[in-house]
Structure 1
Amino acid sequence: MADSAKNNTEVKPKSSTHGAVAETPMPLLYIKDFQKLPHWDFEDVYNQDAPPRPTTCAQSLRNSQDEKFKEAFLPNIRLFLHKDNINMSEWNRLSHFNSPFGFMEFKYNDVMAAVKLIPKPKEPLLLPKPGSNGCVRCAVVGNAGILNGSKKGVEIDGHDYVFRMNGAITKGYEEDVGSKTSVYMHTTHSMTASLYLFKKYGYKSAPHDEGIKYVMIPEGMRDFQWLEGLLKGQKISSGPYRNKVPRTFYSGQYNESRFYVLHHDFLRYMRNRFLKSHNLNRAIWAKFRPTNGAITLFLALHTCDTVDAYGFMTDDYTKYSNYYFERGVHSKVTFYINHDLILEKNTWKDFHNKKIMKLYQRTEPKTKMENPKQH
């Protein structure tokens, strides 16, 4: 059941995921019919894959003793969407949730044209490196200005794996942000828009290190149109990116066995259990979603044993420019209506304080005080 925000009465779900498997798509639900996030009785129920990756890492965040985190964290939450884990019953369940948390307002045939092409991953996203004592040590690098002049590049590249997202420029900034990219997170929009938004800073293409793994965040219909073209190796046939050839955007590193699509349950779980913004109770509820940086960080928290986050918002964010590649200027952090950056900032700080992950926070050097005994 869900709260119908228009009349405050209970409305029944259009389908059930229990009992007989549904044979036809449920009638479309529309965002405009809800003035705040609808809450279904299966809202906090998620697909899980068993068993989770075993770890022998003593320092693993999975061993956290923080009660609140342990209660919320699902180590075997289903991370990836593919053709073998969706059927009509699943479609109908996910159609109760707005994008990118589900398929609300989307037509079955439009989305499934792409989903039926997504292969089941042949291996986990990450595996322990030889000689690592079983620990998977990761760095997640955001694009915040706090990294400008940080000289953290060598430290970042020293991790087993490095996650980046969006306009991840490294050339010319290696001293501060490193050069290695193991996992690159993107939406269709972030991959294409970065080419012109960040061109003046030297951005030429998405990271394409040899053997890199790409993870798609399915935030809207345009992503499924992109996926269909990408997986078929063809031009996109419809939508805002019509006639573009997706495979040309990966600089020769696209490989079906190293390409993953996030599952909507993972995104919804992340929002519901860790980033439940007050904006979800407002008329703009459907616009809100966590940032690509937040999604990347949570994927790392579910695939790594230790996570060090660099280039994410901290309490003193006003001291720094919006992006680390903005040199010689001090642009203010941009707050968009579809993200709750303050909630994310406070979450990273909380995780850091509870030793769930390590957040890079810039500290100003203290000025030396003159010894009053010396003259």
Structure 2
Amino acid sequence: MATDHLTPVTPDNKVMGDLSTYEPTSSPVETPIPILFKKDFEKLPRRDFEDVYIPCPQPRQTTCPNSLWKTEDPSFKEAAIPDIGLFMHKESVNISEWNRLAHFNNPFGFMEYNYNEVKAAVDLIPKPKEPLLFPRKDSNGCVRCAVVGTAGILNGSHMGQEIDSHDYVFRMNGVVTEGYEEDVGGKTSVYVHPAHSITASLYYFKKYGFKTIPHNEGIKYVMIPEGLRDFQWLQGLLSRERVSNGPYKYYRPWTYYAGQFDENRFYVLHPDFLRYVRNRFLKSSQLNGKHWAIVRPTNGAFTLFLALHTCDVVDAYGFMTEDYSKYPNYYVERHTKTNVIFFINHDYIMEMKTWKKLHDTNIMKLYQRKDSGTDS
């Protein structure tokens, strides 16, 4: 029996944003539902519980006087859920939760996955013992963060010192900082990645000096479980055994973290949080087309919204701006200039407009450049 039987208890049938407003109308489900397949849907399927999310059991309470969460912007206040649950761990998946999340395609749920295979990995994920970030001493209770993307706008920007001046610096994907510190800084506090970023970057960015993912002392790693291969990676990583199946078979995942892997500083984003980012902020019209199953926000988008939900002040660097065509695809391209590639699985223009809107409404600051190459 599927979880389609979940019914809102609110009189107007309005989604309230977390599971506390929902209750089953029949007996609890005791077995996993039959596997659902993407090919059986011509566009993104709509569920009554599509916009229902697990809340954080101990949401962060900010005392920062200028926190972004004190905004009066109506659109952000309507869309944002301050206490959205961010991370998945060993207590996150039981049969009931599986049957809810099995209705959503990856990385927003477990559609097409096998219950036993995924649960074996999830059961190894440690429950976070503390919030992702804390205010620094003498910070007036504020957590100040920089989120650094890989866009070419940072090429020649001289923003490195400003980036590193933040309390925490988020980075994602193929991060190359050595030799580029003047433009992008060298500090990394939180590195957000799927397994693919770690493995593929060794090939794609080797010529630019990429040797390993960031491994600053005390760094926190946050994983995006974007596909079944990530759960296979997780099982190998957390059990300290070679991956037993899938594209990473025989890999030793812990060796990719350059000696800085610590399960107490390792987090896995919850599919609910990823779906919330898509549904509330980046719901592309492409989801109504035949390629719906691969359409999703970029890893940079997920990282930026993670920062918005864990920091009080967020400054974004290296993200797409309206004048993106002036710059190379990546900031590492000093001697060549490849154009930005628009892959079908991401709505880059929608993301670009979203960053500009968040900047214009003072939710965050987006690094932009004038024709002279100076800040705006």
Query: TM-score band, normalised by the shorter chain?
Result: over 0.9
CA drift of 1:108 comes to: 0.2
The reply to whether residue 56 of structure 1 matches residue 56 of structure 2 is: no
Structure 2 unaligned spans of 5+: 7-22
The reply to whether residue 287 of structure 1 matches residue 294 of structure 2 is: yes
| Match 1:140 to one of 134, 143, 147 | 147
Deviation by residue 1:260-284 (Cα, 9 ceiling, x = unmatched): 0000000001000000001100011
TM normalised by structure 2 equals: 0.93
Moved beyond 6 Å, runs of 4+: none
Structure 2: distance between partners of 1:67 and 1:295: 22
The reply to whether residue 228 of structure 1 matches residue 224 of structure 2 is: no
Query: Could you say which residue in structure 2 is the equivalent of 1:328?
Result: 335
CA drift of 1:238 comes to: 0.4
Structure 1: distance between partners of 2:27 and 2:301: 37
Amino acid at match of 1:286: A
Deviation by residue 1:213-262 (Cα, 9 ceiling, x = unmatched): 00000000000000000000110000001000000000000000000000
Preserved contact between residue 147 and residue 315 of structure 2 (Cα < 8 Å): yes
| Match 2:37 to one of 18, 21, 30 | 30
Preserved contact between residue 2 and residue 100 of structure 2 (Cα < 8 Å): no
Query: Could you say which residue in structure 2 is the equivalent of 1:8?
Result: none
Deviation by residue 1:65-98 (Cα, 9 ceiling, x = unmatched): 0011001100110000001122110000000000
Q: Which SS does the other structure have where 2:169 is aligned? A: strand
Percent of aligned pairs with the same amino acid? 65
Task: Report the aligned-residue RMSD.
Answer: 1.5
> How many residues are aligned here?
357
Preserved contact between residue 107 and residue 225 of structure 2 (Cα < 8 Å): yes
Query: Could you say which residue in structure 2 is the equivalent of 1:86?
Result: 93
Q: Which SS does the other structure have where 1:303 is aligned? A: coil
Amino acid at match of 1:232: S
Structure 1: distance between partners of 2:368 and 2:142: 24
CA drift of 1:14 comes to: 5.6
Structure 2: distance between partners of 1:176 and 1:251: 24
Alignment of 1:1-375 (within 5 A): 16=6, 18=24, 20-365=27-372
Preserved contact between residue 144 and residue 312 of structure 2 (Cα < 8 Å): yes
Q: Which SS does the other structure have where 1:83 is aligned? A: coil
Preserved contact between residue 136 and residue 305 of structure 1 (Cα < 8 Å): yes
Preserved contact between residue 95 and residue 105 of structure 1 (Cα < 8 Å): yes
Structure 2: distance between partners of 1:34 and 1:22: 24
